[in-house]
Structure 1
Amino acid sequence: MSSRFFTAIAALERRGLLYGLTGQKEGQTSAARPSIDENAAVYAGFDPTANSLQVGNLVTIVGLLQFREMGFRTISVVGEATGLVGDPSGRTKERAQLERNVIERNADCIEKSISTIFDNHSAMTRHKQMHPPKILRNSSWYRNQNVISFITTVGSRFRLQQMLNRDSVQQRLSSGAGMSFTEFAYQIFQAYDFLHLYQSENCLVQIGGSDQWGNITAGCELIRRAVGKQAYGVTLPLLVTSSGEKFGKSAGNAVWLSAEKTSCFDFYQYFLRTSDQDVKRLLSFLTLLPHVEIEETMKKHSEEPEKRLAQRRLATEVTCLVHGHEAVCKAEEFTSVLFHSKVKDASHLKENLRYIKSVDVPRDKVKVGLTLSDAVLEVKAVESKREAKRLIRANGVYVNDVRLANPNELISERYVTQDGVTLLRTGKTNYFLINWI
């Protein structure tokens, strides 16, 4: 019996991260769960349908890192081939097909991001001896495939009724959009990925989000039919907001893992603003902190909730994992400047232009005087001048931490810092910089 596999599964379950496990019968105890070879690898796949992963994908990466800490080899598969096909899971209509060169560029970005996260994980756990990560692109084993051979050797092992019964297929067939054969065949390709890794890498476990259950079990079934062996699937909960909305790029509320799409400062600030209702769950889902340490953090937080200790720990741990220790230091420094300093005395606001939204405005405008409502519109904090005036009159606009309530007040030289910038804030957390040039 592989005690490491059992320990990893138990750790996921304790954190609320275990959603499903293949080979598990209803009512079966943890001790009766399946075991696997100590030398086996665990893999997860990531399709490059965008040039960055988002925070929802981080749940799966943390799952991989949990297995890594238990001594398992881990494989991240960037779906350069399957990205061209398109996964129908969780979608109400077919996604727009991307050009091959776009998929390749996206794959480069995602591979770099995953590699960085694993490097950061190694730096955060120096005392542990862990296997180096392996990142593969599935295009490497499809490139020389013969279509007739693939259909006869792989396709023949699938049963149409099982494929039709997948939730992702049923949902689309019952909708008005229907489903193309391309998307219908996606499960065959993901299943073959698992078979290929089983044969070439001794990979016995695939992990993924709960919406991947059908694709993962298809792989387990293909391995059983092709080589008569058992492989296992582990699914993790999807990351949702406290209102039940899924995090994701298609939902329009994505927090990206790429610093080019979500700056390190915005990333840090996002988690710093986490509600008390969500913070424990996110500590469990998105960090590698031991369960007992999470419980201790929450205990201290409950004693002095106004200090937001749990949110600070969450923001620090997740930012360090995704962007590294230096990014945490810079985000904390800039947070201190914005929230705890007098902006007019801050000497390094301009150094941090990349951390918040900014706009270049000719210096001549400050000489003649730019009205406050025009300034709010200039930084695109709102979409219309009418909306800008309403926001200002509602006491929702600050210039260099000073609340201004007159839409016609002029932004003159007295509002320009020695760095040549003006900090404009709407509400409690929306910051914009006017960079006078």
Structure 2
Amino acid sequence: MSGVSVAEERAEILAAQRNDDSFATLWDELQWRGLVHVSTDPEALSELLEGESFTYYCGFDPTAPSLHLGNLVQLLLLRRLQLKGHKPLGLVGGSTGLIGDPRPTAERTLNSRETVAEWVTRLQGQVTRFLASDGENAVRLVNNLDWTAPLSAIDFLREVGKHFRVGTMLKKDAVAARLNSDEGISYTEFSYQVLQGFDFLELFRQYDCVLQSGGSDQWGNLTSGTDLIRKVEGRSAHAVGTPLITNADGTKFGKSEGNAIWLDPEMCSPYTFYQFWLNQADADVIDRLKVFTFLSRAEIEDYERQVAEEPFKRAAQKRLALEVTTLVHGAAAAQGAIDASEALFGRGDLAALDESTLRGAVSELPQVVLPPTAKFIARPITQLMVEAGLVKSAGEARRAIAQGGVYVNNAAVESEDRALEAADLLHGRFAVLRRGKKTLAGVVAAG
């Protein structure tokens, strides 16, 4: 999209999104896509979604400087409701982020107020990228620090705390898990569900917000809000818990070698992001298309057929990677990731890749790190191949070169004495070694 600003491209992406009118109701579509694991009242929610415009929300705590794939599930659910004409509130928790919801295993490390405030701003910017900011049902950002900070501890305990029963709080899954662990749970994290319940009450009062969504692991926190509204206001409110997405083998989805897949390109490059989706298993890819894309039921069912009949083509994975990378990082970044994938394996020009894309691609490879360019000394290719793990010995490296199977930046190495020169470094820092068709390593001059 040359010549198109980031804001214009984002607007075009949002404008192209649609719910699938082949379903009788939005609730039917949400269930088909696997976006509903638990809810307060399915029949009432289905009617609510088909009725007049209402306000709903999801909360995101700034416990990291970026949202991740689990948050993306919520953002896409918010967007589907917005497309139906309903009004989203994106809550970034400036107060709950100072505490953090209880993890199943250990107490969180508390971040400073300054850090949390910075992360609030960053996450607010990410939330607004996935929801329309104009029109009658434009997204509205809210921060729970606005209504918790003015309250004294005594006021909070009197006005909110008195409505919570300790016995009920102890039964919440996250709390129960921690109570049964060696770590235990602090009063700080134990009180998190009270704060989240208070959020829903305040949004109900201020905006007539009647629905909260979140992950199913947050169900206890979600229902703390619906219970509080019922006790204090005598009104009903709703909650929807999305399933925790796992792979077909039962492992947690959204992790890559132990690291979360972040939405911030500085924390997870578009190339890495694209490769994550491209590498989805056949058993998982159709479910991913349902949750993470706006492809229609008919399109997804066609990809399901292709997976069954021609899995070697990986058409569903390629479409998934393209769709989600474009959604999160834009069309240019998605195309850059595709170009990098092609170029790494000799089907494109590595020198044509921009520095950011090349850096992201090389970061995924085994690497040899050299001194900065200013101190660069030519290194034999055979030595670099050993250091990178492409071969076990210099002798094996020489034989591979003699057989014509070694490349530097996709150019064949023709001499066993060939050395890597400073001039070989793309963007002054990077080179790609390849043995055969698929075995790769990166060479990086330290910055």
Q: TM-score range by the shorter chain?
A: 0.7 to 0.9
Equivalent position SS for 2:48: coil
- Residue 164 of structure 1: how far off its partner (Å): 1.2
- What code does the residue aligned with 1:11 have? E
CA distance in 2, matches of 1:376, 1:118: 49
The one-letter code matched in structure 1 to 2:268 is T
Task: Among all aligned residue pairs of Structure 1 and Structure 2, give the percentage whose two residues are the same amino acid.
Answer: 37
TM-score (norm 2): 0.80
1:7 and 2:25 matched = yes
Count residues in correspondence.
Answer: 409
1:265-284 equivalences in 2 (<5 Å):
265-284=271-290
Question: Per the alignment, do residues 364 and 168 of structure 1 end up closer, same or farther by CA in structure 2, a change over 3 Å counting?
Answer: closer
Partner residue of 1:355? 360
Name 2:123's counterpart in structure 1: 110
Q: Are positions 1:412 and 2:420 aligned together?
A: yes
Distance 2:406 2:261 in 1: 25
Shift of 1:108: 1.5
Partner of residue 432 from structure 2, selected from 413, 423, 437: 423
Distance of 2:256 and 2:352 partners within structure 1: 36
Equivalent position of 1:20 in the other structure = 38
Task: Evaluate the alpha carbon distance shift between residue 412 and residue 238 of structure 1 in structure 2; reply closer, same or farther with a 3 A threshold.
Answer: same
Q: CA RMSD in A?
A: 3.6
Partners of 2:373 and 2:422 within 8 A in 1: no
Number of the residue aligned with 1:432 = 442
User: For 1:188, what is the secondary structure of its paired residue?
Assistant: helix
CA contact (8 A) 1:191 1:218 kept: yes
Q: Deviations over 1:42-62 (max 9, x none)?
A: 211111100011112211111
Which is further off, 210-219 or 237-246?
A: 237-246
Once the two structures are superposed, the pairs formed by residues 88-237 of structure 1 within 5 Å of their partners are 88=102, 90-118=103-131, 131-237=137-243
- Using the alignment, how far apart are the partners of 1:212 and 1:272 within structure 2? 29
The question of whether the paired residues in 1 share the 8 Å contact of 2:55 and 2:210 is answered with yes
Residue identity in the other structure for 1:256: W
Q: Of 85, 89, 111, which aligns to 1:71? A: 85
Comparing 363-372 and 317-326, the one that deviates more: 363-372
Show CA shifts across 1:186-213 (max 9, x none).
0000001111111111111111111011
With over 3 angstroms needed to count, the CA separation of the structure-2 counterparts of 1:101 and 1:328, relative to structure 1, is same
The answer as to whether partners of 2:378 and 2:421 remain within 8 angstroms in 1 is: no
Question: Does the 8 Å contact 1:66/1:288 carry over to 2?
Answer: no
Equivalent residue for 1:27? none
What SS is found at the alignment partner of 1:140? helix
Identify unmatched segments of 5+ residues in structure 2: 1-20, 364-368
Q: Tell me by how many angstroms 1:130 deviates.
A: 7.3
SS at match of 1:356: helix
Q: Deviations over 1:13-38 (max 9, x none)?
A: 011121001135xxxxx589663762
Check if 1:286 corresponds to 2:292. yes
Match for residue 303 of structure 2 among 293, 297, 320:
297
Give how far 1:418 is off. 7.5
Q: Quick one: structure 1 residues 150 and 388, their matched pair in 2 at CA, closer, same or farther if it must change by over 3 Å? A: same
User: Which digits, 9 at most, give the CA deviation of each residue in 1:392-415, with x for residues without a partner?
Assistant: 9699996435899x9x97643499
Classify the secondary structure of the residue corresponding to 2:249: coil
| Change in CA separation of 1:72 and 1:241 when aligned onto 2, cut-off 3 Å | same
Structure 1 gaps of 5+ residues are 25-29, 123-128, 382-386
| 2:124 aligned partner, one-letter code | E
Q: Which residue identity lines up with residue 432 of structure 1 in the other structure?
A: G
Describe the shift of the 1:391–1:141 C-alpha distance in structure 2 as closer, same or farther (beyond 3 A): farther
Using the alignment, how far apart are the partners of 2:434 and 2:328 within structure 1?
A: 27
Change (3 A) 1:140 1:391: farther
Structure 1 contact 78–137 (Cα < 8 Å) conserved: yes
**1: distance between equivalents of 2:24 and 2:161?**
33
- How far does residue 417 in structure 1 lie from its aligned partner after superposition? 6.7
Partner Cα distance (2:37, 2:383) in 1: 50
2:385–2:391 contact (8 Å) kept in structure 1: no
CA distance in 2, matches of 1:154, 1:105: 28
